[in-house]
Structure 1
């Protein structure tokens, strides 16, 4: 969420250039549709920004609920659009491929509405606690609140790694909190409450009841992640060899190196591409992934080795 004045269209051209560099065919459908909707509404806004931005006064008190779904998809200027959409491009590619297009589109829809509600509650709470009514009139637009929520999801589904935020190397798990403060300090015109609302909604999904509620309201639909989790749970708990005792709590990380299914496949492919020519592992631990034993010597090779042994004697 953001509040700036509209400028040139250089950011729009850079965004289009970035999209074509990635390749339209490489962008999943929901991510591409969200990009297209934001660009279209930037070029042809449905209403003026003062009619689309969300605030406690306009939305809650005056009951202009249309602002809940209009505010995330309208941007103040081309640079505002550019930075938000580039972030959406990379987060969307990773998350939509992981979760599936239907579920990712469902997340975008629910998050866009819910973040607006949480934003108003935060502004209302601050206004009442500090006795500053101006917070109720604070009006914001933009997609960055949703992007902060997607960042929480991305760190949840792709754990590990670190980020450089203002020269500080910090785990991706906590990077969103440092970015929340850093963005507000570097650009005071941004909406701190809007970004915080995004983080809170993301945490409600990954650590709270939001994901369960969304599943209940989706009519039993399961995302690709659910099928993957169910398959992994079946493979690790329910499969039994005949004649062997059950070990429901058995640790299989010793066989997988602690890697999940996707990481095992990626490691196997990397090993197969790097495996050029003979290697001798000896007593060293073999690399993860698919591994084939050395070829058995032919009859002629065995015969030659036997003759050489006799010659040495």
Structure 2
């Protein structure tokens, strides 16, 4: 059923559409554009209510609702949540899809989307076990931000000489994800720290070898041909990916800017064109607090585990 946003609550969608047309639909690689379209479609026509799409240990593991692993990355809390995540996806997709090739990038997105949810569940379950606080198992997360953190790790790995600006301060790419992870949760504690950490860990599993090797092996078994490996120019030579951007309007965003600078420039341009301002919300995901009605269930589970 179509979502019915509150009046005036669609500014994020309007700005996202404006940003897409400023970049140029033809300049957004096809897999990135399709992923963007899927996220927008599921925002307008959600496959499940938000509380039935978010992923948590309680719902996915205890209640065996594993479909949440597929639903949670592609559903968003509101239009601003969607806007920030999709704007970030555009810039990361423009770099990585050209470098990897469309088929492998699509493969990477699918694997990262699933694994980020699984690692999130493992981390939350581990925290619950270590602290004895089983409310960790009830923390429900939703949004594409965990996958974006994973993509950022991959992009930074192949552009080690670049610099990312975090809260206005330049940070070397090799440290950027960790600095950003902490910074986001200082300025916006409502975001899912564990969900973002899960994305970083998945990205590291890929860049450090195990996940990439497993994906290459699986791809080789499924498809005979060029899909068995990422594009041959996907190397850790340290050459900046800025030289390999797809063609786009040279006036927007300016060439030679870092990915983070492009992102911020795009955000400012979209907002300034309309004289508007974004709410004080980061461009990453959200953690949905447990339903108050579930407190009794929580007490029962705590009692069960205490016995």
Give the alignment's TM-score, normalised by structure 1.
Answer: 0.71
C-alpha separation between the residues in 2 aligned to 1:71 and 1:164? Answer: 28
| Match runs of 1:79-158 below 5 Å | 79-158=80-159
In 1, are the aligned partners of 2:95 and 2:244 still within 8 Å (CA)? Answer: no
Higher radius of gyration, 1 or 2: 1
Secondary structure of 1:218 counterpart: helix
- Quote how far apart the aligned CAs of 1:138 are: 0.3
- For residues 176 and 41 of structure 2, the distance between their equivalents in structure 1, rounded to whole angstroms, comes to 31
The corresponding residue for 2:291 is none
Does the residue aligned with 1:128 lie in a helix, a strand or coil? Answer: helix
Q: Please state whether the residue corresponding to 2:38 is helix, strand or coil.
A: helix
How far off is 1:176 after superposition?
Answer: 0.8
The 1-side partners of 2:193 and 2:107 are apart by: 25
Residue 228 of structure 1 aligns to a residue in which SS? coil
- Indicate yes or no: 2:76 matched with 1:75: yes
The alpha-carbon deviation at position 21 of structure 1 amounts to 0.5
Q: Deviations over 1:237-288 (max 9, x none)?
A: xxxxxxxxxxxxxxxxxxxxx885989999xxxxxxxxxxxxxxxxxxxxxx
Aligned to 2:169: 168
Deviation of 1:156 after TM superposition, in Å, equals 1.4
The residue aligned with 2:204 is: 203
The residue that corresponds to 1:245 in the other structure is none
RMSD, matched Cα: 2.4
Structure with the bigger RCO (C-alpha within 8 Å, sep 6+) is: 2
Displacement after TM superposition at 1:172 (Å): 1.3
Q: 1:170 to 1:264 in 2, by over 3 A?
A: closer
Distance 2:15 2:85 in 1: 12
Counterpart for residue 63 of structure 1: 64
**How many angstroms does 1:61 deviate by?**
1.2
What's the offset of the Cα at 1:222? 3.5
SS of equivalent residue, structure 2 residue 55:
coil
How many pairs are equivalent? 235
Deviations 1:48-88 (A, max 9, x none): 01100000010011110100010000000000000000000
Structure 1 runs not aligned, ≥5 long: 233-257, 267-313
Q: Is the 8 A contact 1:53 1:140 kept in 2?
A: yes
Paired with 2:184 and 2:240, the residues of 1 have a C-alpha distance of: 36
Deviations 1:179-199 (A, max 9, x none): 101111111110000000000
For 1:235, the equivalent position in structure 2 comes to none
Aligned to 2:46: 45
Q: CA separation in 2, counterparts of 1:265 and 1:138?
A: 40
What is the distance in 2 between the residues matched to 1:97 and 1:31?
Answer: 10
**Structure 2 length-normalised TM:** 0.72
Tell me how far apart the structure 2 counterparts of residues 44 and 66 of structure 1 sit (CA, whole Å): 17
